[in-house]
Amino acid sequence: MITKDSLKNQYGIVTGGGGLLAFEHACALLELSCAVVLIDIDKNKLKKNLIKLNSLGYSKIKTYVTDITSEAKLLNLSKKLKNNEIIPNILINNAGLNYSIKNKSKKKKFYFENFDTDYFVRDLNIGLKGSYLCSKIFGNMMKENGKGVILNIASDLSVIAPDQRLYSSLQSKKPVSYSIVKHGLIGLTKYLSTYWASENIRVNALSPGGIYDKQEKIFLKKIKKLIPLKRMLNREEIRATIQYLCTDDSSYMTGQNIILDGGRSIL
């Protein structure tokens, strides 16, 4: 059973720590007495989340500005953590390339026919290479604890194709790289779950559907029709699943992709 001390004396790393969902992941861990390490490439975003978390009374938080696509920078960070006697128990691979559907573009954006290959490479670097590197470096450290949890934040688009009609009013498409990254994360999850089972490191994925974030009315109207529960996800609704997957309450679960999408993917 989860209690407020379920993760006492543990450390949880959250990548993309300055972002929208990272704040919820951090709250989920902090609520269970876990100390949190937030990593982000964007110093200002990191600072904003830290201030918000501090204002809620949480203090066991460390922040590091690091690019997760750089193995050298991550190795350097792992040394710093070791020097501070921080051996991670939990890693949440959450960083992603922000794709905002609110950006109206004059040019047709993200159409496959003229998709920007630099964007494609950047998206895969952050979503896949970054998750691979963090798992390799921090997962290796976890072995010292004799157990650990890696949680990959995927998306409902790890199991279904985007419905491109959702973006038509924005003259945009969901980028092809997003589907590739999210499906790829499930491959990484399955691979590591068997590879490190003997080290007692459980590896799962969490696949949220779209989260309310001031989207346009027309988009909300269209997406509701695709979701049996007839609404998007409220950001704080993710916390309970994070807590379940990061604690011993899910001690027999590994290699799974938990889909939190209001039923969208079963239609």
Ligand X SMILES: NC(=O)c1ccc[n+]([C@@H]2O[C@H](COP(=O)([O-])OP(=O)(O)OC[C@H]3O[C@@H](n4cnc5c(N)ncnc54)[C@H](O)[C@@H]3O)[C@@H](O)[C@H]2O)c1
The CB-of-199 to ligand X minimum distance in angstroms stands at: 25
3-state secondary structure of 233: strand
Out of 7, 12, 14, 18, point to the residue binding ligand X (CB under 6 A): 18
CB 214 within 8 A of CB 102: yes
3-state secondary structure of 172: strand
Interface characters, 197-226, with ligand X (x: CB under 6 A): -----------x-xx---------------
Residue ranges in 93-112 that form contacts with ligand X under rule CB under 6 A = 94-96, 98
Out of 7, 14, 126, 201, point to the residue binding ligand X (CB under 6 A): 126
Which residue type does 172 have?
S
Query: Which DSSP category does 108 fall into?
Result: P
Give CA 254 to chain center in angstroms. Answer: 17
Stretch that binds ligand X, among 11-19, 76-84, 191-199, 220-228 (CB under 6 A): 11-19
Instruction: Write out the two tokens for 180.
Output: 């590739």
Which segments of the chain are extended strands (E)?
11-15, 35-40, 61-65, 90-93, 148-153, 201-208, 257-260
CA gap 10, 87 in Å, rounded? 8
Stretch that binds ligand X, among 28-36, 40-48, 134-142, 241-249 (CB under 6 A): 40-48
- Is residue 184 a contact point for ligand X (CB under 6 A)? no
- Is residue 21 a contact point for ligand X (CB under 6 A)? yes
Residues of the shown chain interacting with ligand X in the complex, contacts defined by CB under 6 A: 15-16, 18-22, 39-42, 45, 67-69, 94-96, 98, 126, 130, 153, 155, 208, 210-211
